[in-house]
């Protein structure tokens, strides 16, 4: 495998942002097949089209997911990437690593594959790009035996769950996102590795409503931390903000002169529920009206903290536009305690109730959010055994077309037209 001329890619070696082209070139000196990745990518830049074939089912014995098959459509020109399969390796929660672990994984990947990776894929896995079919089983053997690690999900299964960094380094996390993610990931290894669903299914765990892992937009079950008591206020720290001694928004706006901090303009007036005011030099919050949007806490992190009675809001059904249009998750459970003590029993029960139904009625390649739309939210709520509450909707129905049940109407639906006509001439 020889070096190819790559005049277009070479132009991506300049500029202040780190260059993947320079990096690939450095790797090619160790693994010459990387010259062919560069060569084929250059060809795509010339042709303005991909040169990868559609699909190809490969994997390791016993798993239906974790590896995505990929073949070049110009293998005679770039034999080094004739096979270029992707492996998804399940990431540790919150993506902390020891260098010892990363170096070991690097050595394994150099031995079995191209040496090209993504840290990380969109769903959260470590992505290893570029292995030949015959390398898959040996890599998997070494990954499991030498490292005690495993592949993640792909296809119509539970995708590798992901979480924010949670309580490990964030003061706002309202439950242990790492432990929840880890526990459920281990609990559902079978569902991750052996596709049995109508389509993909994702969990994402965010510690607070800032939602740093985009759970509300990207996961079928979104677990987003919240609290149900009062925002904790340190009035002395509020005064420091007002005096300009603490930077607003944790210093996030320090690059521009926005003028002196104005608690009315920047906090009280931006509160979506208008439930804050100043009184006698103190900040007051009517917590019964608060919807826990996080804005005031974000702006004054040293003065305000989420309440102490913490848990999570559970929402269901987010997805990207394919096919019926994008959906955000819909609120199902306003507040659930998320605790290791009962092994997340309540959350697991909730998830499995969805699966029992969806695996039965979900159409091929129908995300659960689309199934919910198809049957309607009132039906879905009934299936989930939940009481309808106004928190589940943005606004009430704007049409009068209710599917009344026969049992809801006195006398039922059975009527006699002759008897009706005896009293009402046609």
Partner 1 sequence: MGYNPEKPMEGRLTDLGPPHYEQFMPPIIKENKGKWLWHEILQPGVLMHKSETGDEVYTVRVGSPRLMTLVHVREICDIADAHCGGYLRFTTRNNIEFMVDSKDKVQPLLDDLASRGSKFPVGGTGAGITNIVHTQGWIHCHTPATDASGPVKAVMDDLFEYFTSMKMPAQVRIALACCLNMCGAVHASDIAILGIHRKPPMIDNKRITGVCELPLAVASCPLGAVKPAKTEVDGQEIKTVKVTVERCMFCGNCYTMCPAMPLADPEGDGIAILVGGKISNARSAPKFSKLVIPFLPNTPPRWPETVGAIRKIVEAYAKDARKYERVGEWAERIGWERFFEKCDIPFTEKSIDDYRLAYNTWRTTTQFKFTSHIK
Interface with partner 1 in residues 206-235 (CB under 8 A): 209-214, 216-218
Instruction: Pick from 24, 231, 238, 314 the residue near partner 1 by CB under 8 A.
Output: 24
Residue closer to partner 1 (CB basis): 399 or 425: 399
Q: State which of positions 320-379 bind partner 1 (CB under 8 A).
A: 320-326, 328, 364-365
Instruction: Pick from 3, 5, 190, 393 the residue near partner 1 by CB under 8 A.
Output: 190
Stretch that binds partner 1, among 274-282, 316-324, 337-345, 405-413 (CB under 8 A): 316-324
Under the criterion CB under 8 A, does residue 157 sit at the interface with partner 1?
A: no
Q: How far is CA 378 from CA 48, 277, 332, 333, in A?
A: 48, 38, 11, 14
Minimum distance from CB of 313 to partner 1 (Å)? 10
Under the criterion CB under 8 A, does residue 245 sit at the interface with partner 1?
A: no
Instruction: Pick from 57, 76, 99, 236 the residue near partner 1 by CB under 8 A.
Output: 99
The dihedrals phi and psi of 307, each to the nearest 5 degrees, come to: -60, 175
Residue closer to partner 1 (CB basis): 109 or 357: 109
Stretch that binds partner 1, among 54-62, 281-289, 346-354, 381-389 (CB under 8 A): 54-62
Residue closer to partner 1 (CB basis): 256 or 424: 256
Stretch that binds partner 1, among 11-19, 353-361, 385-393, 403-411 (CB under 8 A): 11-19
Instruction: Please state, in angstroms and rounded to a whole number, the distance separating the CA atoms of residues 78 and 400.
Output: 63
Q: How many CA atoms lie within 13 A of 214 on its CB side?
A: 10
Q: How far is CA 134 from CA 114, 137, 138, 210, in A?
A: 13, 7, 8, 44
Question: Taking phi first (over 0 means left), then psi (-120 to 50 degrees means alpha), and beta for anything else, what does residue 166 get?
Answer: left
Minimum distance from CB of 63 to partner 1 (Å)? 7
Minimum distance from CB of 309 to partner 1 (Å)? 15
Query: Look-up: residue for tokens 């060569």?
Result: 39
How far does Cα 271 stand from its chain's mean position?
Answer: 27
Residue closer to partner 1 (CB basis): 277 or 420: 277
Q: How many CB atoms lie within 10 A of CB 212?
A: 17
Under the criterion CB under 8 A, does residue 308 sit at the interface with partner 1?
A: no
Instruction: Please state, in angstroms and rounded to a whole number, the distance separating the CA atoms of residues 296 and 261.
Output: 13
Instruction: Please state, in angstroms and rounded to a whole number, the distance separating the CA atoms of residues 4 and 37.
Output: 10
Under the criterion CB under 8 A, does residue 26 sit at the interface with partner 1?
A: yes
Minimum distance from CB of 403 to partner 1 (Å)? 20
Under the criterion CB under 8 A, does residue 170 sit at the interface with partner 1?
A: yes
Instruction: Please state, in angstroms and rounded to a whole number, the distance separating the CA atoms of residues 83 and 134.
Output: 10
Residue closer to partner 1 (CB basis): 47 or 309: 47
The angle formed by the CA atoms of residues 241, 242 and 244, to the nearest 5 degrees, is: 65
Q: How many CB atoms lie within 10 A of CB 363?
A: 10
**Sign of the four-CA dihedral 32, 34, 35, 40:** positive
Q: How many CB atoms lie within 10 A of CB 379?
A: 13
Residue closer to partner 1 (CB basis): 99 or 288: 99
Residues binding partner 1: number (CB under 8 A)? 137
Under the criterion CB under 8 A, does residue 256 sit at the interface with partner 1?
A: yes
The dihedrals phi and psi of 284, each to the nearest 5 degrees, come to: -115, 145
Under the criterion CB under 8 A, does residue 201 sit at the interface with partner 1?
A: no
Binding mask 105-134 for partner 1 (x = CB under 8 A): -x--xx----xxxxxxxxxx----xx----
Query: Look-up: residue for tokens 């790559």?
Result: 6
Instruction: Pick from 228, 239, 284, 305 the residue near partner 1 by CB under 8 A.
Output: 305
Instruction: Report the candidate in 312, 329, 313, 314 with the shortest Cα–Cα distance to residue 368.
Output: 329
Under the criterion CB under 8 A, does residue 186 sit at the interface with partner 1?
A: yes
Minimum distance from CB of 2 to partner 1 (Å)? 19
Instruction: Please state, in angstroms and rounded to a whole number, the distance separating the CA atoms of residues 396 and 27.
Output: 58
Q: State which of positions 386-415 bind partner 1 (CB under 8 A).
A: none
Cβ atoms of 317 and 372 within 8 Å: the answer is yes
Under the criterion CB under 8 A, does residue 295 sit at the interface with partner 1?
A: yes
Under the criterion CB under 8 A, does residue 70 sit at the interface with partner 1?
A: yes
Return all residues near 351 (Cβ < 8 A) that are at least 6 apart. Answer: 184, 203, 221
Instruction: Pick from 167, 180, 330, 371 the residue near partner 1 by CB under 8 A.
Output: 167
Stretch that binds partner 1, among 57-65, 282-290, 375-383, 414-422 (CB under 8 A): 57-65
């Amino acid at each position: 495998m020889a070096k190819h001329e790559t005049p277009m890619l070479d132009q991506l070696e300049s500029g202040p942002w780190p260059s993947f082209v320079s990096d690939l070139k450095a790797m090619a000196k160790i693994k010459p097949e990387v010259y062919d990745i560069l060569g084929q990518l250059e060809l795509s830049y010339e042709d303005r089209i991909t040169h990868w074939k559609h699909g190809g089912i490969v994997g390791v014995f016993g798993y239906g997911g974790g590896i995505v098959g990929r073949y070049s459509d110009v293998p005679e020109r770039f034999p080094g990437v004739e096979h270029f399969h992707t492996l998804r390796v399940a990431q540790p929660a919150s993506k902390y690593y020891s260098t010892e672990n990363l170096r070991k994984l690097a050595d394994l990947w150099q031995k079995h594959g191209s040496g090209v990776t993504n840290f990380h894929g969109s769903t959260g896995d470590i992505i290893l790009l570029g292995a030949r079919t015959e390398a898959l089983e040996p890599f998997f053997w070494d990954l499991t035996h030498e490292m005690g690690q495993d592949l993640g999900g792909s296809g119509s299964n539970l995708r590798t769950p992901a979480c924010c960094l949670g309580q490990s380094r964030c003061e706002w996390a309202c439950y242990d996102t790492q432990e929840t993610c880890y526990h459920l990931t281990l609990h559902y290894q079978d569902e991750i590795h052996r596709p049995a669903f109508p389509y993909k299914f994702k969990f994402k765990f965010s510690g607070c409503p800032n939602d740093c892992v985009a759970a509300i937009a990207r996961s079928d079950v979104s677990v987003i931390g919240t609290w149900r008591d009062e925002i904790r206020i340190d009035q002395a720290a509020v005064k420091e903000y007002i005096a300009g001694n603490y930077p607003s928004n944790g210093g996030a706006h320090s690059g521009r002169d926005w003028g002196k901090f104005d608690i009315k303009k920047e906090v009280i007036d931006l509160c979506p529920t208008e439930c804050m005011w100043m009184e006698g030099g103190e900040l007051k919050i009517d917590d019964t009206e608060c919807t826990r949007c996080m804005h005031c806490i974000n702006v004054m992190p040293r003065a305000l903290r989420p309440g102490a009675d913490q848990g999570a809001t559970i929402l269901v059904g987010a997805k990207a536009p394919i096919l019926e249009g994008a959906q955000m998750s819909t609120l199902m459970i306003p507040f659930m305690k998320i605790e290791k003590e009962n092994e997340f029993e309540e959350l697991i029960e909730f998830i499995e109730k969805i699966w029992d139904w969806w695996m039965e009625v979900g159409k091929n390649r129908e995300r659960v959010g689309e199934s919910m739309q198809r049957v309607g939210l009132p039906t879905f709520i009934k299936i989930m055994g939940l009481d309808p509450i106004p928190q589940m909707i943005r606004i009430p129905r704007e049409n009068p077309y209710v599917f009344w049940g026969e049992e809801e109407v006195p006398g039922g639906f059975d009527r006699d037209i002759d008897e009706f006509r005896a009293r009402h001439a046609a």
